[in-house]
Chains A and B, each alone.
Chain A
Amino acid sequence: MGIQEQYRSEAAALLSSGEVKLVIGFGEGSTADRRRPLFARTPEEAQKFVLDAACIANLSTYLVTEGLLSDGKKVAVFLKPDGIRSVNILISEAQLKPDQVVILGYAIDKAEITALEGRNISDFSLGEEIRSHTPPPHILQEAERIEEMNPAERFEFWKAHFSKCIKCYACRQVCPMCYCRRCIVDVNQPQWVSTSSHTLGNFEWNIVRAFHLAGRCAACGACDRACPVNIPLRLVNYRMGKEVIDAFDYCAGENSSQKPVLASFKQDDPETFIL
């Protein structure tokens, strides 16, 4: 039995036994190489799940839908390691309870799909894998190229990209870490971030989001894929993540008991920036 069939029947079993109220997975998409989220509430619906190398989205973002988990019932979800990493972060930020999430884990290597062992978040120890995880070579190359620029060139690079932003907030909607009930950009008393999409306002928005994700990004690349104008958002988050590792030896999502890095203090934190 292939992994797709295995997970279809497992999902069906979870639903028919009543262990979970919902399974979040993938279904057919608009084209042959696209997959769309599928929400199964009955064993029959579970038969429509698809699992193949095109299932790259990070479905953990649906777990933080307002009210979804407030009844205390469980939800199962198809997750790749980066999705599991986001679940760790969400648990450490009190957005999920570990026991409410059943993980149907899988990994994609080239076109090969393998099932991951374990169903509860505590079964996965991702620590080392996450630390050694590097973005795909083309991203790394691009990151290094930007690193080598002088500040003026770098500013021009980002200005060119950010000026394209249409403030659709797709990056925010798709991001599991953007679970705020009300985003800072929606605050209009006072209006910290201007809403129109001119370069200044776009800078404000994209930089605020970069700061908000520092030490929290799971590197799933969802924002990058969602952006309709192809702003390489993951480069920003990659750089911030590196900064946090260097300064605090902290890698987001290694486990679910981490304390938020920018909110917590340790007695031996470096204080080089305090005069």
Chain B
Amino acid sequence: MAKIGVFVCHCGENIASMVDTGTLVKAMSDHPGVAICNEYKYFCSDPGQETVKRAIREHNLTGVVVAACSPRMHETTFRKACAEAGLNPYMLELANIREQCSWVHSEKNQATSKAIEITRSLVEKVKRNNELKPISVPVTRRALVIGGGIAGIQAALDIAGAGREVVLVEREPSIGGHMSQLSETFPTLDCSQCILTPRMVEAIQHPKITVMTYSEVEEVEGYIGNFTAKIRKKARYVDMSKCTGCGDCIQKCPVKKIPSEFECGLGKRTAIYTPFAQAVPNVPVIDKSRCTYFKNGKCKICEKSCQIDAIDFEQQESVETFEFGAIVVATGFQIQDTSVYGEYGYGKYKDVITGLHFERLASASGPTAGKIQRPSDGKEPETVVFIQCAGSRDPSKGVKYCSKICCMYTAKHAMLYTHKHHGSNSKIFYMDIRAAGKGYDEFTRRAIEEDGADYLRGRVSKVFEENGKLIVRGVDTLLGKPVEVAADMVVLATAMTPQPDAKQFAKRIGIGYDEYGFYNEAHLKLRPVETAKAGIYLCGACQSPKDIPDSVAQASAAAAKVLGLFSREQLEREPVVAAVGETTCAGCWGCVYACPYNAIEKKDITDRNGNLIKQVASVNPGLCQGCGTCVTFCRSNSIDLAGFTEKQIFAEVMAL
């Protein structure tokens, strides 16, 4: 015989002001199978929980329904209370009469009858609940970090620093990401390479970190604590174990005029190359699409020039499989393709460049050795116009958001330009100056007050060429007048956008993304580094536009989450898993395809002599996440989900 205890919570005034709890208690007390029904101001409080525990002991309850808030809030609280009183924690149900009732209604009688129906249906469910035991699964204490920008490097170092193994996967030939392209960094103007390279070197030398460059994550399967990832290592055509990084091959390569991606096309590279001098690892790759040997079958000059035979034209790409317990996604950003701004003449006029180009011009290791020179003729520009929000906050160009960093780096650019070229003239078109951050407002002020940056509030409508000058036409909205500036160079502060393949990649590993392709956190405020998929974490600019301090902070936060997970050898999992009824399963494999976690396998049913009778579906409880997809798919109704069985759901529905 069922003996159910029903506990109606007032939640202060939250529930009691809209639901007549007295009526609810009366209705439940009369319901068949209910042994005791109480109401109280806060059942989640200590005395409230004590009441529940006492009732379980005194009335030998077989099930408990707490009519209160969402199970997301207090399911754990009351499960614990049940367990402490000797009742299986899965014999508890929460009837949500707050979020789903009192908060959303304004008519008390109706809200009360709805609360009665909700509670009644959960009483009917709990009568059919079964005792369940949590499943424990082992945790593989090795982390996969995807993306070797500053965010990925930081996360990897923090995890490895706590003694856990990390595999850091970067698809470019070197780690470093965008930060390696920057000249000096706001708000302190320290040289980007100088603060980044020690981290890169630390990562590659760390005994717990395996850095896999020129590699991509091809497939991720599994679940928190137990992921399997396939990583494709592209062929470098240089043996990493032999190469000393002497660079002889690069010197000798006859194909020298390839626009360098790292230099944003402002410099050139060879077909065998390292993207930049401080690359980590300092091992070149052969760009197969440009190499003369791969194109015509003749050359191999690099092979001859290498003293230690490190060049290997026969090298093949390879796929390695690893087990991981947690994944950190740090795939970063791209800058927006500026060709959407035809009116600014990008791509048409050589001297209209992006902020990233400017970083390369200002960088001591860049193509001009740090001299600001115009790409068209190499002259030093006298007047430079910077256009902020060139892409950001412009719904018509598809980017509604603020890229967050452009105000700051534009101020930095104006400053660097003045420092490098005294008597220069920088004009900045802006919408607002957003300089929230430690030392940020002071930084932009310094640009204005000490370095003479001339800020003009307004938008630019057009950039065109006239008598060898770039004419920038816009409005100064503070003066309410049109302005025209004759410039020698125009720098566009282009929007930070997700990686072009961000959406496909998210689908591959099973995480969510927003309308642009930035990855979704589990909760913007309370769970900013977790994704909705347990065991996968985020950091850096792949989640939203970020500067270096934010990227690094988030990377350390993600590492802390990973280390928290790795602090245990076993993980307790909810026993809400599916099971197949083998007598009725028709072996159509619909559920096998449908299961998003690949948790369903095919199983042979044999007779006593081992002859195959039929094949049926079989759920691996270690992999099943209890999503219920298979249950809804199965036509013959052969699958059931523990904790949410068809009988339970049916009883719940029929009680309404």
Residue numbers of A with Cβ under 8 A of B are 70, 93-95, 179-184, 187, 189-192, 212, 259-260, 262-265, 267
Q: What are 29 A-to-B residue pairs whose CB atoms are below 8 Å?
A: A70-B612, A93-B588, A93-B590, A94-B587, A94-B589, A94-B615, A95-B587, A180-B586, A181-B583, A181-B584, A181-B585, A181-B586, A182-B636, A182-B637, A182-B638, A184-B635, A184-B636, A184-B637, A190-B646, A190-B650, A192-B646, A260-B589, A262-B594, A263-B589, A263-B590, A263-B594, A264-B593, A265-B596, A267-B507
Cβ contact within 8 Å between B613 and A70? yes
Q: Which residues of chain A come closer than 8 Å to B633, judged between CB atoms?
A: 262-263
Q: Which residues of chain A come closer than 8 Å to B591, judged between CB atoms?
A: 263
From known contacts A70-B613, A180-B584, A190-B647, infer whether A264 and B589 are also in contact, taking CB-CB under 8 Å: no
Cβ contact within 8 Å between B637 and A192? yes
B651 within 8 A of A: yes
Cβ contact within 8 Å between A259 and B593? yes
Encode contact with A along B124-152: 1 for CB under 8 Å, 0 otherwise: 00000000000000000000000000000
Encode contact with A along B611-646: 1 for CB under 8 Å, 0 otherwise: 011110000000000000000010111100000001
Q: Which residues of chain A come closer than 8 Å to B590, judged between CB atoms?
A: 93, 260, 262-263
B289 within 8 A of A: no
B467 within 8 A of A: no
Cβ contact within 8 Å between B507 and A212? no
Given contacts A182-B636, A184-B637, A263-B633, 5 further A-B contacts (CB under 8 A): A70-B614, A181-B584, A182-B638, A260-B593, A264-B594
For the complex, give the distance between the alpha carbons of A190 and B504 in Å.
41
Q: Which residues of chain B come closer than 8 Å to A182, judged between CB atoms?
A: 583-584, 636-638
Q: Which of A95, A179, A192 contacts B650 (CB 8 A)?
A: A192
CB distance from B96 to the nearest CB of A (A): 21
From known contacts A70-B613, A259-B593, infer whether A95 and B586 are also in contact, taking CB-CB under 8 Å: yes
From known contacts A70-B614, A192-B637, infer whether A93 and B589 are also in contact, taking CB-CB under 8 Å: yes
Q: Which of B585, B588, B647 contacts A95 (CB 8 A)?
A: B588
Cβ contact within 8 Å between B646 and A212? no
CB distance from A101 to the nearest CB of B (A): 17
Cβ contact within 8 Å between A183 and B589? no
Select from chain B the residue with minimum beta-carbon distance to A93.
B588
For the complex, give the distance between the alpha carbons of A265 and B637 in Å.
21
Q: Which residues of chain A come closer than 8 Å to B647, judged between CB atoms?
A: 189-190
For the complex, give the distance between the alpha carbons of A94 and B638 in Å.
17
Q: Which residues of chain B come closer than 8 Å to A179, judged between CB atoms?
A: 586
For the complex, give the distance between the alpha carbons of A184 and B591 in Å.
16
For the complex, give the distance between the alpha carbons of A187 and B507 in Å.
37
Residue numbers of B with Cβ under 8 A of A are 504, 507-508, 583-591, 593-594, 596, 612-615, 633, 635-638, 646-647, 650-651
For the complex, give the distance between the alpha carbons of A93 and B633 in Å.
13
Q: Which residues of chain B come closer than 8 Å to A181, judged between CB atoms?
A: 583-586, 636
Cβ contact within 8 Å between B589 and A187? no
Q: Which residues of chain B come closer than 8 Å to A187, judged between CB atoms?
A: 637
Cβ contact within 8 Å between A190 and B651? yes
CB distance from B504 to the nearest CB of A (A): 6
For the complex, give the distance between the alpha carbons of A189 and B650 in Å.
9
Select from chain A the residue with minimum beta-carbon distance to B646.
A190
For the complex, give the distance between the alpha carbons of A169 and B633 in Å.
22
For the complex, give the distance between the alpha carbons of A262 and B591 in Å.
10
Q: Which of B588, B614, B638 contacts A260 (CB 8 A)?
A: B588
CB distance from B154 to the nearest CB of A (A): 31
CB distance from B633 to the nearest CB of A (A): 6
For the complex, give the distance between the alpha carbons of A260 and B507 in Å.
20
CB distance from A102 to the nearest CB of B (A): 22
CB distance from A80 to the nearest CB of B (A): 24
For the complex, give the distance between the alpha carbons of A191 and B637 in Å.
11
Q: Which residues of chain A come closer than 8 Å to B588, judged between CB atoms?
A: 93-95, 260
CB distance from B647 to the nearest CB of A (A): 5
Select from chain A the residue with minimum beta-carbon distance to B507.
A267
For the complex, give the distance between the alpha carbons of A182 and B583 in Å.
9
CB distance from A107 to the nearest CB of B (A): 29
Select from chain A the residue with minimum beta-carbon distance to B638.
A182
Select from chain B the residue with minimum beta-carbon distance to A212.
B635
For the complex, give the distance between the alpha carbons of A70 and B606 in Å.
11
Q: Which residues of chain A come closer than 8 Å to B586, judged between CB atoms?
A: 95, 179-181
For the complex, give the distance between the alpha carbons of A183 and B613 in Å.
20
Query: Top 7 A-B pairs ranked by shortest CB distance?
Result: A190-B650, A180-B636, A263-B590, A263-B594, A263-B593, A182-B584, A264-B593
Q: Which residues of chain B come closer than 8 Å to A259, judged between CB atoms?
A: 593
For the complex, give the distance between the alpha carbons of A264 and B591 in Å.
9
Q: Which residues of chain B come closer than 8 Å to A189, judged between CB atoms?
A: 647
CB distance from A252 to the nearest CB of B (A): 13
For the complex, give the distance between the alpha carbons of A81 and B593 in Å.
28
For the complex, give the distance between the alpha carbons of A126 and B633 in Å.
28
For the complex, give the distance between the alpha carbons of A58 and B583 in Å.
28
Q: Which residues of chain B come closer than 8 Å to A192, judged between CB atoms?
A: 637, 646, 650
Q: Which of A70, A94, A183 contacts B636 (CB 8 A)?
A: A183
Select from chain A the residue with minimum beta-carbon distance to B596.
A265
Q: Which residues of chain B come closer than 8 Å to A70, judged between CB atoms?
A: 612-614
CB distance from A262 to the nearest CB of B (A): 7
Interface centre among A95, A184, A192, A263 (most CB of B within 10 A): A263
For the complex, give the distance between the alpha carbons of A114 and B593 in Å.
39
CB distance from B497 to the nearest CB of A (A): 20
For the complex, give the distance between the alpha carbons of A259 and B615 in Å.
18
CB distance from B437 to the nearest CB of A (A): 34
Q: Which residues of chain A come closer than 8 Å to B615, judged between CB atoms?
A: 94
Q: Which residues of chain A come closer than 8 Å to B594, judged between CB atoms?
A: 262-264
Interface centre among B507, B587, B590, B594 (most CB of A within 10 A): B590
Select from chain B the residue with minimum beta-carbon distance to A208.
B635
Q: Which residues of chain A come closer than 8 Å to B504, judged between CB atoms?
A: 267
For the complex, give the distance between the alpha carbons of A85 and B474 in Å.
66
Select from chain A the residue with minimum beta-carbon distance to B128.
A190
Select from chain B the residue with minimum beta-carbon distance to A209.
B635
Q: Which residues of chain B come closer than 8 Å to A190, judged between CB atoms?
A: 646-647, 650-651
Q: Which residues of chain A come closer than 8 Å to B636, judged between CB atoms?
A: 180-184
Select from chain B the residue with minimum beta-carbon distance to A177.
B635
Select from chain A the residue with minimum beta-carbon distance to B645.
A190
CB distance from B616 to the nearest CB of A (A): 10
For the complex, give the distance between the alpha carbons of A262 and B589 in Å.
12
For the complex, give the distance between the alpha carbons of A231 and B171 in Å.
60
For the complex, give the distance between the alpha carbons of A197 and B596 in Å.
38
Q: Which residues of chain B come closer than 8 Å to A267, judged between CB atoms?
A: 504, 507-508
Interface centre among A179, A180, A189, A265 (most CB of B within 10 A): A180
Select from chain B the residue with minimum beta-carbon distance to A90.
B588
CB distance from B499 to the nearest CB of A (A): 16
For the complex, give the distance between the alpha carbons of A20 and B612 in Å.
21
Interface centre among B508, B612, B614, B637 (most CB of A within 10 A): B637
CB distance from A83 to the nearest CB of B (A): 19
Select from chain A the residue with minimum beta-carbon distance to B613.
A70
CB distance from B195 to the nearest CB of A (A): 39
Q: Which residues of chain B come closer than 8 Å to A94, judged between CB atoms?
A: 587-589, 615
CB distance from A179 to the nearest CB of B (A): 6
Interface centre among A70, A95, A190 (most CB of B within 10 A): A190
Q: Which residues of chain A come closer than 8 Å to B508, judged between CB atoms?
A: 267
Select from chain A the residue with minimum beta-carbon distance to B654.
A190
Q: Which residues of chain A come closer than 8 Å to B612, judged between CB atoms?
A: 70
For the complex, give the distance between the alpha carbons of A206 and B637 in Å.
16
CB distance from A154 to the nearest CB of B (A): 25
Select from chain B the residue with minimum beta-carbon distance to A211.
B635
For the complex, give the distance between the alpha carbons of A179 and B615 in Å.
15
For the complex, give the distance between the alpha carbons of A69 and B615 in Å.
13
CB distance from B505 to the nearest CB of A (A): 11
CB distance from A70 to the nearest CB of B (A): 7
For the complex, give the distance between the alpha carbons of A183 and B637 in Å.
8
CB distance from B594 to the nearest CB of A (A): 4
Q: Which residues of chain A come closer than 8 Å to B646, judged between CB atoms?
A: 190, 192
CB distance from A109 to the nearest CB of B (A): 34
Select from chain B the residue with minimum beta-carbon distance to A187.
B637
Q: Which residues of chain A come closer than 8 Å to B507, judged between CB atoms?
A: 267
